[in-house]
Amino acid sequence: MWALIKRIWGVVRRPSVHYSLGFLTLGGFIMGVLFWGAFNTAMELTNTETFCTGCHEMRDNVFAELKTTIHYSNRSGVRATCSDCHVPHNWTDKIARKMQASKEVWGKIFGTINTREKFLAHRLELAQHEWARLKANNSLECRNCHSSDSMDITRQSTRAAEAHERFLFTGEKTCIDCHKGIAHQLPDMSQQSTWMEAPSGKALENATAFLEQRQKETN
């Protein structure tokens, strides 16, 4: 047994002694193609809607909600699947996101959101992660389809055209700032400052200082 291990180790350590260089190069190339193909195929498999909705957590909550929205059913029949919005298309970013997703596997195993109630309790936190991600990459996943260069605002309603002109084209805001809850229902937003009414830090500071002063005076 020991001898066998030793022999295999010898071959692995110095393969060119035992096999021809051509065989090793060709073999390495073929194995490389196979490995790469298999790796990418497996990863693409985890990007499909069938895979995502394989778990009831996704199928019964977020996927059910998506079905009523324009990103699932619309006049032209073009639609977004889960990964179109939730997984970056760029390879390195995709790998990074997939590694983050190991946390989601953990959640699945330990049933973090395995009931509707648990899901709703976590919904705000989960949504905030996605909002932060899209805010950080300037709504990249939206822009994979909705390019502002190709956006003809004369075909939009007056209201939409004005808003896009003022906020999108100037770069003042990014898609997710205004279009939260576009594909799934929103969590409890009462503690969230909406895109319109984010109070400026100064005003809030002034108000806090004033109230604290009053408190002191009354005591």
Nearer to other proteins, 68 or 90 (CB): 68
CA–CA separation, 14 and 98 (whole Å): 35
CA–CA separation, 92 and 130 (whole Å): 18
- Which residues contribute to the site for other proteins (CB under 8 A)? 68-70, 157-159, 162-163, 181, 185-190, 194-197, 199
CB of 101 to other proteins, least distance (A): 26
CB of 155 to other proteins, least distance (A): 12
Start-end of H helices in 14-139 = 15-18, 21-45, 49-52, 56-57, 63-66, 82-86, 91-100, 102-110, 116-136
CB of 177 to other proteins, least distance (A): 11
CB of 185 to other proteins, least distance (A): 6
Nearer to other proteins, 99 or 196 (CB): 196
Nearer to other proteins, 102 or 158 (CB): 158
**Number of C-beta neighbours around residue 211 at 10 A:** 10
Nearer to other proteins, 44 or 162 (CB): 162
User: b vs e for 5-17, b when ≥16 Cβ sit within 10 Å of the residue's Cβ?
Assistant: eeeeeeeeeeeee
